[in-house]
Chain A
Amino acid sequence: MTMTVLGVDDLGVTISTDQGPVLAVAGMSFRAEQGEMLALVGESGCGKSMTALAIMGLLPGGATTRGSITLKGRELTALSPRQMRDVRGREITMIFQEPMTSLNPAFTVGYQVAEMLRRHEGADRREALRRATELLERVGIPAPATRVREYPHQMSGGMRQRVMIAMAIACQPTVLIADEPTTALDVTIQAQILDVLRDLRDEMGMTVVLITHDLGLVADIADRVEVMYAGHRVEATGTDALFARPQHPYTVGLLDAVPRPQLRVAGERMVLRGIPGMVPTLREAPSCCVFSPRCPLADSRCRSEAPGWKEVAAGHHAACFQAGHLKPTVLADGGRR
């Protein structure tokens, strides 16, 4: 029996820039179930981080939102800033790409982890520090009793990210949002951090929303995937189905763009295919398919009408007129310029 923990409905985020308002998220909806590892996938500018910040109530100044965000049925958009501060860090927490800029360089890591427990659970100083040490141990930091007194600059990138995770799980949150948690790390360290996240999810039954552009990471760890493009969700399904039977041309293009050197034939030049064109910046909701300017399959209908969200198989949705009868091979041939 699954239970929806996090529900996002028709979320819209408009941010203000020097060039006027930009529609960063245009009607995003998704649900994350208890204990699920849900990936939001997309390239820079697709709105995945803005979606996360909207959930956290941490949007930059001048941003406006619409739609609904619920945590275990409780509407978060209706909360006062003070009420939201109690939710943030206790029920929903977030870790970021670059742990150095997210930690305060002037305080020891132990103090910063302990602060979570003092702020949210009213633990006294000693008790909080003792539990902080346990948390550091839990995320795999060796010699936690010593490291707890160190400052962020004394630690490596991987260790700092572990500290961030320790802070994030200190109050046993319901939802952990991980925004590109391993992008800044080397591949061997990336594997370590993924193992930590996976173990914690299994032990604590936490829901993890993983924001990433790395399809390798998605293949490795996600249960379900939401693919985003230009502020819209374009496809959503289980991880296996996404890789085996993608139904949106953007997803196909993204999968195609990852080099598959195993298919390289000795003595021949490798075929590498990117997606031509670039991600549009939206000023207002478009009246066509957002991907149509770059889509090899787009026809006049795609350019005049926005495709609806359609179910192509059980639990597999895509926003494309051709979804359901899209064959990756057809696209590869027909889409070659």
Chain B
Amino acid sequence: MNHSEPAEVAAPVLSVRALTKRFKVSRARGGGMVHAVDGVDLTINSGEIVGLVGESGSGKSTLARCIVRLLEPTSGQVLLRGADITHLSQRRLRPVRRDVHMVFQDPYSSLDPRQTVRAIIAEPLRMHGLARGRELDKRVAGMLERVGLSQDMRDRLPNELSGGQRQRVGLARSLVLEPSLLIADEPVSALDVSVQASVLGLILDLQEDMGFACLFIAHDLGAVEAVCNRVAIMYLGRIVEQGGYEEIFRRPKHPYTQSLLSAAPVPDPSIQRSRHRVVLAGDIPSPIHPPSGCRFHTRCPVAALPRCAAEDPELRDVTGAGHLAACHLITADGTPPDVTGELGTSPEGLALDPKP
């Protein structure tokens, strides 16, 4: 990392406070409100990669779009390096846009098909009036090299590139202004398996090299565990668990996180077939009428207390060391419920592979 360890006094790169986003549903469609994001708190420190995991409809993309102000939050705050950007006008947002960039899932629709690779990467520099002429060419050439594309790609159009190459162009465009925050919304899920690993590796290289902080949104748990420092798990607009990647993946506390880890197949038959898998019943409920109490109680395999259906659990530090979870069933000493019956069977908890 280029940047030194985050100092205690320095403001985090991103801090999201009690962010809520609701969408109106037209009367023709039954009316009401979609509670897409509901009171989310999230902090990303300098140089940190934070994973945001959740199923479709959990609100993770809405949260990302609120952070970059592609959507206007209903309430709550977004602070970028300590400065509140929640209510800035589009005009005053412009300098902020230099500092936050986004990479999208689909490298086919997120690049202008009529622009050359060079024009795509140069556009942010031009828009912000940061470089022209030879300096512009130099910056574009430097960025191409950083993302592992040869210089003769410069004059190609997106349709002449493979999916992996396009995503590299997308990364080059997002990083050419050296932002302090990169928001990557499912950056590899549209790519083939053999290409995913290369692009994930590239994101790690670039992060090490340039030192940006990153919000990494994904549903692929393997990818998240491989690249993230911290992870937040979302369910129906809420963060239900958050902590260091090892804590979340090896010692998950929330029944939803445990179920999610249990449901994701491990690419090794000898492990996969000996695991006790939890298959959650039913679908994710509608965010128009989220369940009362704990939002997960309708699908929770262990929900037992009347409190689960009545009282909304608070996201609290259950270990005293920054591992947050929102579940009534976690005891005061941090002992979690166990949906798989396998938590206690090894010191590694749910660690899924045998000792190397």
Contacts and interface: CB of A to CB of B under 8 A. Distances in A.
B225 interface: yes
Contact of A188 (B55, B195, B273): B55
A188 B259 contact: yes
A259 B188 CA distance: 12
Nearest to A274: B198
Contacts of B204: 269-270, 272
A253 B219 contact: no
B260 A187 contact: yes
Contact of B265 (A158, A219, A256, A263): A219
B265 A220 contact: yes
Q: Name the prevailing secondary structure of the B interface residues.
A: helix
B8 interface: no
Contacts of A275: 194-195, 198
A213 interface: yes
Interface in B224-280: 225-227, 245-246, 249, 259-260, 263-273, 277, 279-280
Interface stretch (A102-110, A190-198, A324-332): A190-198
B314 interface: no
Contacts of B352: 262
B243 to A, nearest CB: 14
Interface string B297-320: 000000000000000000000000
B267 A255 contact: yes
B39 interface: no
Nearest to A266: B246
A261 B263 contact: no
A333 interface: no
B353 A262 contact: yes
Contacts of A16: none
B203 to A, nearest CB: 9
B196 interface: yes
B164 interface: yes
Nearest to B272: A219
Contact of A261 (B55, B56, B199, B225): B225
A216 interface: yes
Q: Name the prevailing secondary structure of the A interface residues.
A: helix
A156 B199 CA distance: 32
B110 interface: no
Contacts of A255: 267
A278 B196 contact: no
Nearest to B198: A274
Given A220-B273, A243-B267, A192 B222 contact: no
B341 interface: no
Contacts of A258: 193, 197, 222, 267
Contact of A274 (B197, B267, B269): B197
Interface in A265-303: 266, 269-276, 278-279
A257 B194 contact: yes
Interface in B26-56: 55-56
Contacts of B266: 216, 219
A137 interface: no
A218 B200 CA distance: 23
A18 interface: no
Nearest to A140: B281
A272 B193 contact: no
Interface string A209-223: 000011111111000
B283 A259 contact: no
Contact of B196 (A219, A264, A274): A274
Interface in A57-107: none
Contacts of B142: none
Nearest to A221: B265
A213 B351 contact: no
B277 A191 contact: yes
B201 A272 contact: yes
Given A219-B268, A220-B265, A272 B197 contact: yes
B158 to A, nearest CB: 15
B194 A216 contact: no
A260 interface: yes
Nearest to A186: B55
Interface in A136-159: 142, 156, 158-159
A258 B223 CA distance: 8
A251 to B, nearest CB: 11
A202 interface: no
B129 interface: no
Interface in B90-110: none
Interface string B316-356: 00000000000000000000000000000000000111001
20 contacts: A187-B55, A190-B263, A191-B277, A192-B280, A215-B193, A216-B267, A217-B265, A219-B271, A220-B269, A240-B269, A258-B193, A259-B200, A264-B225, A269-B208, A270-B226, A273-B197, A274-B194, A274-B199, A275-B194, A275-B195
